[in-house]
C-alpha cells in the first residue's frame, strides 16, 4: 500500500527526529560546542584549516559556509554517502529501526522501476557472460592463454575463486550466446559487453582477452576487465567495461567483495588485477585494486567503510611512486591511516611474490613506511644533504609536508624523528612548520571570505550596497523567525511573500505561508522538500538555522519586518516620483513616517 503524501512527510519527520543530527554527524567529524551551535571542519569537502561547518541542534540543520552544503540529517547522509534521498532516508530509518513506508508518485515509481529493471537485467546479463567466459577458459585449447596463466603461477582454484574467464578472438561469440538466452542487442550493449558499429550491427567488446569479472560488495557481477594475452599494435594492455546503469568505475574496487571479509586489520591496495590475484593466492585475502583509473575519493570512502588502515602496494617505478602519493593523500584526507610498501627485486607485487614468496612479502608489509615518512623519503632523493644549501631546501620542503598533518601529536613525533636524523633541533623545524601553517590558515581564511563574498554576489546579482545588504539580511532573519508559529502569526498580515526582494526568499516565504495555511504547524524538512537544487538547500539551511538565538521570536520579528517594509516603500517612493503620482507619493511618505516611529502600517498602499 502506498502511503499518502501527508503520511510520508510524517515518516520523514520521525526519521529526522529519531536520528539526532549532532549524533549522526559526530560519526564523521569532531563537533565542538560554540554557544548554541556546534562547529567543525567540514566533512563534505577538503576543509583543513578553519571550521566552516555549523550544526544547529535545535533546528536539526547543518550548513557549511565553505562549500555551501546544508540541510537536514538526510541531506547530510545523501552527500556524505553519495546516496539519493530515498536511499539516505532508508539508511537512517534502518539505523533507528523505523519501518519504511513505500511512497512514490506514479511517475517516480515508474522511473524507479525502469532503472531497477535495467540494473537487474544488466546483473543477469553479466552473470551469464561471466559463466560463458569461465566455461571458455576451462575448455580452452589456446596454448598462449594457458602458458600465460602457468607462467604467472595461477592455480585452478584461484581461477575458480575469481571466476576468471576467456573471451575468444571472434567478434560475436558472446553476443550470439546472450541472444540465444533471449537478451536483445540493445540490452547487451547497455551492459557494456558489445559495441555498436557506425554502419549498423554490434560486435563483442572483449576479444582474445583474459577476463576478470568485477563483483560488487553485494555479490552482483557489475562489469569486466580484460587483459591482453599477446601484445598487439594499438591494443591496450587492459580493457575495462564502460560505466553503465549498474556500474560506476569510480565507486568500486576489484575484489572488494572478498577483501571486505578479511580487512579488519587493514587493506592492501594494488594497481593491477593480476597483483590482486597473486596476493589472494598467497593468502593475502585483503588485497584490492582500483578499476583502470587512479584512486578516487568514492573508492577511498568505500575502503573506510570496512577498515581504517591501508597499505599501498604500487609499482616501484616513477609513475607507481607518484600514484602512491596521490592515492595516499586521498585516503589520508578521508581518515584512513596510510603506509606505503616499497617493492624490491621485482617491478610489481605480483612479480615479487612469485620470485620471493609470501613470507618475504609479509616482511615488506611490516616494513612499509607511513605516508608522511614515505613522502619525505621521496623528496630526499632529489637532494645531496652534504650540501648545506640543498639540505636547507630539503628541510623547507619537508616542513611543508609536516604542516599538512592535522594531529598535533603525530606532527610532533614526525618532526622529532626527522630532526634527529638530520642532526638539527626539532624546535627549528617546528618553527618553520608553524610559519607555514599560519600562512596556510591565512590563505584559507581569505579564500573562505572571498568565496562567501562571491556566493553573496552570485545570490544577489552583484549588489553590494550596504542598504541592500541590510535588507537582504533582514529578510533572512525574518524567514528564520517565521518558523516559530507565534512570530508568524504576529507578522503574517504585515508582509506577503512578494514583499521579499530575493527570488529564493520569495519562494521560501511562499512555502512557509502554504504550510501554515494547510497544517498550521511548520516542519523544516517539509519546507526543504520543495527544493531540489543542492546549493538552494544549502542557502535555505543557512537561513532557517540562524535566528540569532533570540528567546522572544515574536518581538524579534518586528525589527527585520520594519527594515523590509521601509525598503519596499522607499523603492515605491522612487517610482511614484518618476511617475509624478503625488497622491501615491503622499500616502507612501506618511506610511514611511509611521514605520520609522514603529507604528507599522498595512503592506498595501
Q: What is the CATH number of the domain that holds 84?
A: 3.90.580.10
**What DSSP element (H or E) covers 209?**
strand 209-215
Whether residue 485 is found in the same domain as residue 448:
no
| Cβ atoms 333, 45 nearer than 8 A | no
| Cβ atoms 22, 53 nearer than 8 A | no
pLDDT for res 274: 92
**Residue that finishes a domain, picked among 425, 453, 481:** 453
On the question of pLDDT at 244 being above 90, the answer is yes
pLDDT digits (tens, 9 = 90+) for 296-327: 988 998 898 788 899 999 888 888 889 999 99
On the question of pLDDT at 473 being above 80, the answer is yes
Domain assignment present for 233: yes
Strand order in the sheet with 267-270: 287-289, 267-270, 309-313, 337-340, 369-370
Higher per-residue confidence, 191 vs 447? 191
Strand order in the sheet with 221-228: 165-167, 209-215, 221-228, 238-240
Cα–Cα distances (Å) from 363 to 168, 247, 265, in that order, read: 40, 36, 16
Domain assignment present for 409: yes
Whether residue 156 is found in the same domain as residue 212:
yes
What is the Cα–Cα distance from 424 to 427, expressed in whole angstroms? 9
Whether residue 205 is found in the same domain as residue 266:
no
State the CATH number of the domain containing residue 127: 3.90.980.10
**Residue that finishes a domain, picked among 410, 430, 453:** 453
Whether residue 431 is found in the same domain as residue 399:
yes
pLDDT digits (tens, 9 = 90+) for 452-471: 666 656 555 555 566 678 88
Domain assignment present for 31: yes
Q: What is the DSSP string of 135-183?
A: HHHHT---HHHHHHHHHTT--HHHHHHHT-EEE-SSSSHHHHHHHHTT-
Asked which of 25-34, 106-115, 241-250, 361-370 is least confident by mean pLDDT, the reply is 106-115
Mean pLDDT of 151-163: 92
On the question of pLDDT at 566 being above 50, the answer is yes
Domain assignment present for 268: yes
State the CATH number of the domain containing residue 352: 3.40.1360.10
Q: Is 73 helix (H, G, I), strand (E, B) or coil?
A: helix
Whether residue 242 is found in the same domain as residue 119:
yes
On the question of pLDDT at 605 being above 50, the answer is no
Mean pLDDT of 552-571: 85
- Look up the domain containing 441 and give its range: 382-453
Domain assignment present for 324: yes
What is the CB neighbour count within 10 angstroms for residue 18? 14
Q: Which three cell numbers stand for residue 541?
A: 539551511
Whether residue 423 is found in the same domain as residue 476:
no
State the residue for C-alpha cell 553485494: 218
Measured torsion, CA atoms of residues 373, 375, 378, 383, in degrees rounded to the nearest 10: -90
State the CATH number of the domain containing residue 576: 1.10.860
pLDDT for res 599: 46
pLDDT digits (tens, 9 = 90+) for 279-302: 999 999 999 999 878 899 889 988
Q: What is the DSSP string of 47-60?
A: --SS--EEEETTTT
Domain assignment present for 523: yes
The size of the chain, in residues, is: 605
Confidence label for 138 from pLDDT (cuts 50, 70 and 90): confident
pLDDT for res 110: 67
Whether residue 388 is found in the same domain as residue 372:
no
Domain assignment present for 582: yes
What do you get for the CA distance between the two ends of the chain, in Å? 51
What's phi and psi for 196, nearest 5 deg? -85, 130
Q: Which three cell numbers stand for residue 72?
A: 537536514
Q: Which three cell numbers stand for residue 409?
A: 601529536
- Give which of 241, 332, 239, 313 is closest to 271, Cα–Cα: 313
Mean pLDDT of 343-365: 84
**Number of domains making up the chain:** 5
Asked which of 154-163, 341-350, 370-379, 557-566 is least confident by mean pLDDT, the reply is 341-350
Confidence label for 438 from pLDDT (cuts 50, 70 and 90): confident
pLDDT for res 159: 94
Angle (CA) 313 254 233, round 5°: 85
Domain assignment present for 461: no
Amino acid at each position: 500500500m502506498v502511503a499518502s503524501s501527508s503520511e510520508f512527510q510524517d515518516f520523514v519527520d520521525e526519521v529526522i527526529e529519531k536520528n539526532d543530527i549532532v549524533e549522526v554527524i559526530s560519526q564523521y567529524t569532531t563537533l565542538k560546542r560554540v554557544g548554541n551551535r556546534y562547529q567543525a571542519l567540514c566533512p563534505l569537502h577538503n576543509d583543513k584549516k578553519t571550521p566552516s561547518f555549523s550544526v544547529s541542534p535545535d533546528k536539526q540543520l547543518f550548513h557549511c559556509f565553505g562549500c555551501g552544503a546544508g540541510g537536514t540529517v538526510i541531506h547530510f547522509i545523501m552527500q556524505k554517502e553519495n546516496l539519493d534521498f530515498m536511499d539516505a532516508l532508508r539508511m537512517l530509518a534502518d539505523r533507528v529501526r523505523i519501518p519504511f513506508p513505500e511512497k512514490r508518485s506514479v511517475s517516480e515509481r515508474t522511473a524507479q522501476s525502469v532503472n531497477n529493471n535495467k540494473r537487474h537485467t544488466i546483473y543477469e546479463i553479466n552473470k551469464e557472460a561471466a559463466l560463458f567466459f569461465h566455461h571458455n577458459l576451462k575448455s580452452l585449447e589456446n596454448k598462449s592463454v594457458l602458458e600465460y596463466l602457468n607462467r604467472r603461477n595461477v592455480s585452478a582454484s584461484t581461477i575458480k575463486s575469481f571466476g576468471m574467464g576467456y573471451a575468444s578472438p571472434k567478434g560475436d561469440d558472446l553476443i550470439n550466446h546472450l541472444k540465444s538466452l533471449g537478451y536483445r542487442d540493445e540490452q547487451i550493449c547497455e551492459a557494456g559487453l558489445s559495441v555498436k558499429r557506425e554502419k549498423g550491427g554490434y560486435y563483442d567488446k572483449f576479444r582474445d582477452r583474459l577476463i576478470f569479472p568485477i563483483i560488487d560488495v553485494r555479490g552482483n557481477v557489475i562489469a569486466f576487465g580484460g587483459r591482453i594475452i599477446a601484445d598487439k599494435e594499438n591494443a591496450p594492455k587492459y580493457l575495462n567495461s564502460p560505466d553503465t546503469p549498474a556500474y560506476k568505475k569510480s565507486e568500486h574496487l576489484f575484489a572488494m567483495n572478498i577483501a571486505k571479509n578479511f580487512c579488519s586489520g587493514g587493506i592492501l591496495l594494488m594497481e593491477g588485477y593480476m597483483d590482486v590475484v597473486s596476493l589472494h593466492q598467497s593468502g593475502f585475502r585483503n588485497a584490492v585494486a582500483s578499476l583502470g583509473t587512479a584512486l578516487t575519493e568514492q573508492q577511498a570512502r568505500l575502503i573506510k567503510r570496512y577498515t581504517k588502515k591501508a597499505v599501498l602496494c604500487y609499482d616501484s617505478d616513477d609513475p607507481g611512486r607518484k600514484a602512491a602519493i596521490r592515492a595516499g593523500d586521498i585516503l589520508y584526507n578521508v581518515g584512513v591511516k596510510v603506509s606505503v610498501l616499497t617493492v624490491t627485486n621485482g617491478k610489481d607485487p605480483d612479480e615479487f611474490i612469485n620470485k620471493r614468496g609470501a613470507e618475504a612479502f609479509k616482511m615488506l608489509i611490516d616494513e612499509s613506511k607511513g605516508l608522511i615518512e614515505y613522502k619525505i623519503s621521496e623528496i630526499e632523493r632529489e637532494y645531496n644533504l652534504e650540501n648545506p644549501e640543498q639540505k636547507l631546501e630539503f628541510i623547507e620542503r619537508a616542513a611543508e609536508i609536516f604542516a599538512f598533518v592535522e594531529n598535533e601529536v603525530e606532527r610532533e613525533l614526525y618532526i622529532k624523528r626527522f630532526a634527529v636524523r638530520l642532526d638539527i633541533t626539532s624546535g627549528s623545524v617546528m618553527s618553520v612548520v608553524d610559519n607555514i601553517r599560519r600562512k596556510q590558515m591565512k590563505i584559507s581564511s581569505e579564500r573562505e571570505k572571498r568565496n562567501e563574498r562571491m556566493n553573496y554576489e552570485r545570490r544577489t546579482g552583484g549588489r553590494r550596497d550596504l542598504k541592500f545588504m541590510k535588507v537582504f539580511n533582514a529578510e533572512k532573519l525574518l524567514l528564520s523567525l517565521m518558523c516559530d508559529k507565534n512570530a508568524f502569526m504576529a507578522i503574517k498580515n504585515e508582509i506577503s511573500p512578494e514583499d521579499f526582494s530575493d527570488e529564493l526568499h520569495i519562494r521560501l516565504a511562499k512555502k512557509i505561508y502554504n504550510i501554515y495555511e494547510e497544517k498550521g504547524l511548520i516542519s523544516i524538512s517539509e519546507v526543504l522538500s520543495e527544493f531540489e537544487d543542492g546549493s538552494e538547500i544549502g542557502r535555505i539551511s543557512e537561513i532557517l538555522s540562524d535566528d540569532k538565538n533570540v528567546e522572544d521570536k515574536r518581538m524579534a520579528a518586528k525589527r527585520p519586518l520594519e527594515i523590509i517594509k521601509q525598503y519596499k516603500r522607499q523603492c515605491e517612493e522612487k517610482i511614484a516620483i518618476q511617475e509624478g503620482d503625488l497622491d501615491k507619493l503622499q500616502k507612501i511618505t506618511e506610511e514611511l513616517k509611521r514605520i520609522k516611529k514603529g507604528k507599522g502600517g498595512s503592506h498595501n498602499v
